[in-house]
Amino acid sequence: MSPIFKHGPSAQHRLLLVLICSVLLIFFDHHIGSFETARGYLQSFVSPLQYLATAPKRMMIWTAENLTSRKDLIEQNQSYKVNELLLREQLMHLSDLEKENNRLRSLLASPLREETKKMVAEVIAVDSDPYTHQIVINRGANDGVYEGQAVLDDQGIVGQIQHVGTISSRVILITDVTHAVPVRVSRNGIRMIATGTGQIDKLVNNFVPHSTDVIVGDVLVTSGLGGKYPEGYPVSTILKVNQDESRAFAQVISEPVAKIDRLRYLLLLWPNIKNAEPSAIKEEKK
Amino acid sequence: MLAHNGIIILLTLLLALIATIIPMPLSVDAFRPDWVLVVLIYWCLALPSRVNVITAWIIGFILDVLLGSILGVHAAALAISVFIIAENFQKIRNFSIWQQSIIVGVLAALYHLLVFWMQRFISDVVFLPSYLYPVITTIILWPWALLLLRKIRRHFQIK
């Protein structure tokens, strides 16, 4: 029953219509950012598709986990025990240091470092789009996740929350071109900004004067400036410093500490408890 | 859209969307074929009265949400690629399967370049040759997708 003569608007008109829609969407989404709340709803709307897409992988992981041999398990268990012993020893040392640090800080009348609330999240989807570096995690507004929240793995900073859905949310990685982290060199405290390059193993530090004291192997940690990332977590290690005097600034390239290409379990941080529980604050006000 | 087993069209498009976001190792990921584009091109060639520019745009919009890119980028690129098919479907239908493959390859390249140009316009991304690797796999995918989807269309008598 397909008619020989087409009815409805012609293809050109349709194309024109959708292109106008696209231009408007791009403008409102990118330049004005007026889709932040709508994005949250859309994210919740498509999360069934994401769960479906990752189902085979989750099944494989599940089977692999359930088919481990007894010997492997015993070996793993032993290595965990040894690890735990070592970590506990460090923890004892650390708690002592923390107390000492707090005492010194109170002597100097500077604010004490607060305890942070943490939550473990799992990666449920990684984007196949080469232009954006984002992942989707299985925590959302229901778990108290908020926009701009810091995300870590066991090595260092991974990124921050970009869009929050009900049961899942989107994390922008530090290697994304549109992302930058305020950092300092942990050796001497020089401040820099680590910007993503769109390549998974490379961050670039712009506007570093030639006279700056950075050497290959320096660890960059978050400086806590900008208020997004809590202070003192490792971000990257310096890979290359090119002090070519013919350029305005030194070229400093660093490599993320976190294993950006093999993320599975992540840690969400609530830097100060006050932010994490807005309902509690409201109640106090009442 | 849903009459005459039109739901099957939607299902194939959803499957293509899922295939686009299914997690893959990084080395294979660069070669991921453009499932959505291939399925859209097939339905547009077979049933241009049902799948057209607007369908392509809506699917592209969902793709934008799934991939987390700026809303409207993939939508516009898909709409333009499908527009070229919709304008020339009578010619392309009569080509041999290999000629069609090459046309699909050119369209896939155009699609990736369009997405790149829009991203370049929005943020400072730099071009890497790896952005065009999917074109190769899309060319290889086309004959198989064509045969499979044709079988589906005939079996369910989608008109």
Look at A78 and A168; give whichever has higher pLDDT. A78
- How large is the average pLDDT for residues A78-86? 94
pLDDT at B112: 94
Superfamily of structural domain A38-67+116-272: Rod shape-determining protein MreC, domain 1 (2.40.10.340)
Cβ distance of A14 and B124 shorter than 8 Å: no
Cβ distance of B21 and A14 shorter than 8 Å: no
Domain ranges of chain B: 6-156
pLDDT at A284: 39
Q: What is the pTM of this model?
A: 0.76
Domain ranges of chain A: 38-67+116-272, 70-113
pLDDT at A171: 92
Cβ distance of A18 and B130 shorter than 8 Å: no
- Whether the per-residue pLDDT at B1 is higher than 60: the answer is no
Model confidence over B112-128: pLDDT tens digits?
999 999 988 887 777 88
Q: Which residues of A touch B10 (CB under 8 A)?
A: none
- How large is the average pLDDT for residues B11-26? 88
Q: Residue B154: which of B79, B42, B53, B52 has the closest Cα?
A: B42
Residue for token digits 């991974």?
A: A158
Cβ distance of B68 and A162 shorter than 8 Å: yes
B56 CB-near residues (< 8 Å, 6+ apart)? B40, B44, B75, B78, B79, B81, B82, B83
Q: Which two tokens stand for residue B12?
A: 């194939």
pLDDT at B26: 74
Compute the 3-state secondary structure of chain B and give helix, strand, coil in percent, each to the nearest 5.
Answer: 75, 0, 25
Minimal CA separation from B42 to chain A, in Å: 17
pLDDT at A245: 85
- How large is the average pLDDT for residues A253-278? 78
- Whether the per-residue pLDDT at A9 is higher than 80: the answer is no
Residue A7 banded pLDDT, cuts 50, 70, 90:
low
Q: Which residues of B touch A134 (CB under 8 A)?
A: 68
Residue B111 banded pLDDT, cuts 50, 70, 90:
very high
Residue B2 banded pLDDT, cuts 50, 70, 90:
low
Residue B109 banded pLDDT, cuts 50, 70, 90:
very high
Averaged confidence pLDDT in chain A: 84
Minimal CA separation from B148 to chain A, in Å: 21
pLDDT at A109: 74
Question: What's the one-letter identity of residue A241?
Answer: V
Note whether B76 and A15 are within 8 A (CB).
no
Q: Which long-range contacts (CB under 8 A, 24 or more apart) does B104-107 make?
A: B104/B37, B104/B38, B104/B41, B104/B138, B104/B139, B104/B142, B105/B135, B105/B136, B105/B138, B105/B139, B105/B142, B107/B37, B107/B41, B107/B81
Minimal CA separation from B114 to chain A, in Å: 13
- Whether the per-residue pLDDT at A56 is higher than 80: the answer is yes
Model confidence over A104-135: pLDDT tens digits?
888 887 766 667 788 899 888 777 677 888 88
List beta partners, residue A119: A268
Among chain A residues, the shortest Cα distance to B20 is held by A128
- Whether the per-residue pLDDT at A276 is higher than 50: the answer is no
Model confidence over B32-77: pLDDT tens digits?
999 999 999 999 999 888 888 999 999 999 999 888 888 889 999 9
- Whether the per-residue pLDDT at A272 is higher than 70: the answer is no
- For residues A69, A72, A77, A82, the Cα torsion angle rounded to the nearest 10 degrees is 170
Averaged confidence pLDDT in chain B: 89
Partner residue opposite B79 with nearest CB, options A18, A52, A131: A18
pLDDT at B29: 83
Helix (H/G/I), strand (E/B), else coil: B20: helix
pLDDT at A191: 92
Q: In this predicted complex, what is the ipTM?
A: 0.81
Burial A203-239 (b: 16+ CB within 10 A, else e): bbbeebeeebebeeebbbbbbbeeeebbeebbbbbbe
pLDDT at A74: 92
Note whether A151 and A144 are within 8 A (CB).
no
Residue A53 banded pLDDT, cuts 50, 70, 90:
confident
Q: Alpha-carbon distance B87 to B56, whole Å?
A: 14
Residue A279 banded pLDDT, cuts 50, 70, 90:
very low
Minimal CA separation from A117 to chain B, in Å: 28
Cβ distance of A131 and B115 shorter than 8 Å: yes
- Whether the per-residue pLDDT at B86 is higher than 80: the answer is yes
pLDDT at A255: 93
**Mean pLDDT lowest among A6-10, A94-98, A161-165, B118-122:** A6-10
